[in-house]
Homo-oligomer: A and B are copies of this chain.
Amino acid sequence: MASFNNNSDNSLPESAVPEVVIQRLPLYVRVLTQFSSSGEEVISSEQLGTRLQMTPAQIRKDLSYFGRFGKQGRGYNISILEGKLRTILGLDRTWNAAVVGMGRLGRAVVSYPGFAPEGFNILAAFDANEEIVGQSISGLKVESISKLTQSVKDHDIKIGIVTVPIDHAQEVIDALVEAGIRSILNYAPLSPQVPEGVTVRGIDPVLSLQSMTYYIK
């Protein structure tokens, strides 16, 4: 383990890692977890590449940003690599999130069972509609959007999930940023404006479809 910890000496400053590499790391973690649960101990960049439809060279390059993980010709120790990537990504702790917009989509998000097992706890839900405020949805009492800043502070919320209609998305995102949130998961189909230092990921099935038709047109 000592030699492993020294690996960080070889790694670049975090700002130097391309965002596209960061976005692939959770996929690596997922595949490593799958291999680990099937009893494997070592994995090659070739095996990872096959699972992720990437070349082994690309995988080795991605991982090299964070130090030296594998030994030449011997592959990666699955549990060590998985643990290291989880630490790099900040997945060795839990994160508190708030959902803004409690219409059909927001209700589906707060009832989705896939967040909590991965360490993402939705602790607050907001809506602007006074008829929805006060309702209990999936165990959460919906709060007025006017309480956002105080609630973010009270619950130590670090992630905002935006499920409002497109016409209100930018103002809600502005309010989340104002409240100190720096990570936003945006389900509204627009590209919002945010200040530097704030990361937005969009969940938009139409964009995904639009980048597949290129290959079948």
Interface residues of A, Cβ cutoff 8 Å to B:
14, 20, 22-23, 25-27, 29-31, 34, 51-53, 88-91, 93, 95, 97, 104-105, 108-109, 112, 114-115, 118, 120, 158-159, 161, 182-185, 189-191, 193-194, 199, 201, 203, 205-217
Contact = CB atoms under 8 A, between A and B. Distances in A.
Contacts of A209: 95, 97, 115, 118, 120, 159, 183, 185, 201
Given A114-B189, A115-B205, A209-B120, A216 B183 contact: yes
A26 to B, nearest CB: 4
10 contacts: A25-B211, A26-B207, A26-B210, A93-B217, A95-B209, A108-B108, A182-B215, A183-B213, A183-B216, A184-B212
Given A182-B216, A191-B51, A29 B210 contact: yes
A212 B199 contact: yes
B214 A118 contact: no
Kindly name the residue among A158, A190, A214 whose own CB sees the greatest number of chain B CB atoms within 10 A.
Answer: A214
A89 B214 contact: yes
A34 B192 CA distance: 12
Contacts of A193: 51
Contacts of A189: 30, 114
B90 A214 contact: yes
B120 A183 contact: no
Contacts of A185: 205, 208-209, 212
